[in-house]
Structures are given as C-alpha cells and as structure tokens.
Amino acid sequence: MTKWSLRCEECSREWSLDVSFDLSDFKKLYYYCRKCRKNTYHIILGKVED
Ligand SMILES: [Zn+2]
C-alpha cells in the first residue's frame, strides 16, 4: 500500500489515501470527500513518505 496526499478542489481539505496502485500517472482523482460529503476532484499532491 502507498499513501498519497490529496487535496479536495472544493473545500481544500488535505488528507491521505492508502491505495494499492500508483497514482503518479494521474493529475486528478475523482473521489469521495468526507467534508463535502460527495465525490469531488482531488489534486494529487504526491506520495507520503513514512
Ligand atoms: Zn471537499
């Protein structure tokens, strides 16, 4: 699993997501935002290094 840092385009909330695939080829990810309570576009900020 890799942790990715995402930022919601609508509310600017930053959070990290654990996924088993590589997001580095994507610029944006359409995903559920818990603050907006709907699917929104997220900017992929990069990998989170542990
Ligand atoms: Zn949001």
Ligand 1 midpoint to CA 42 (Å): 8
pLDDT of 50 > 80? The answer is no
Reported as a single tens digit per residue, the pLDDT across 19-34 is: 998 998 888 999 999 9
| pLDDT at residue 21, as a whole number | 86
Ligand 1 midpoint to CA 21 (Å): 22
Q: How far apart are CA 23 and CA 33, in angstroms?
A: 17
Query: Collapsing DSSP states into helix, strand and coil, what is residue 45?
Result: strand
* All structural domains of the chain: 2-47 (2.20.28)
3-class secondary structure for 15-44? EEEEECCCCCCCCEEEEEECCCCEEEEEEE
The distance from CA 21 to its chain's CA centroid, rounded to whole angstroms, is: 13
| pLDDT at residue 49, as a whole number | 83
